[in-house]
Amino acid sequence: MKNNKTVWITGGGTGIGKSVTEQLVDLGHNVIISGRRLKNLNKVKLYDSKKITVKVLDICSAKDCRKVVRSIDTKFGSIDLVILNAATYNPGKINFDNLESIESILNINLMGQINCLSTILPIMKRQKHGHIVFMSSPAGYKGLPNSGLYGVTKSALTFLSESLYLELERNNIKVQVVNPGFIKTPMTDKNKFTMPFIMSSEEAAKRLIKGLDTDTFEISFPKRLIIPMKILQLLPYSLYFFLMRKLLRRI
Q: Tell me the pLDDT tens digit for each residue of 163-205.
A: 999 999 999 999 999 999 988 887 777 777 777 788 999 999 9
> 91: pLDDT confidence band, cut at 50, 70 and 90?
confident
What are the structural domains, with CATH classification, of the chain?
6-225 (3.40.50.720)
- Which residues have CB under 8 Å from 67's CB, separation 6+? none
pLDDT digits (tens, 9 = 90+) for 18-62: 999 999 999 999 999 999 999 999 999 999 999 999 999 999 999
φ and ψ of 32, to 5 deg: -105, 125
Q: Which long-range contacts (CB under 8 A, 24 or more apart) does 223-231 make?
A: 224/196, 224/197, 225/138, 225/181, 225/182, 225/196, 225/197, 226/138, 226/179, 226/181, 229/138, 229/141, 229/142, 230/141
Span 102-116, average pLDDT: 96
Higher pLDDT, 5 or 95: 5
Distance CA(169)–CA(233), nearest Å, equals: 27
pLDDT of residue 189: 74
pLDDT digits (tens, 9 = 90+) for 121-168: 999 999 999 999 999 999 999 988 877 789 999 999 999 999 999 999
pLDDT of residue 251: 59
In this predicted structure, the answer to whether residue 93 has a pLDDT above a threshold of 70 is yes
pLDDT of residue 227: 96
- Which residues have CB under 8 Å from 98's CB, separation 6+? none
Span 231-249, average pLDDT: 90
> 1: pLDDT confidence band, cut at 50, 70 and 90?
confident
Distance CA(11)–CA(84), nearest Å, equals: 8
> 248: pLDDT confidence band, cut at 50, 70 and 90?
confident
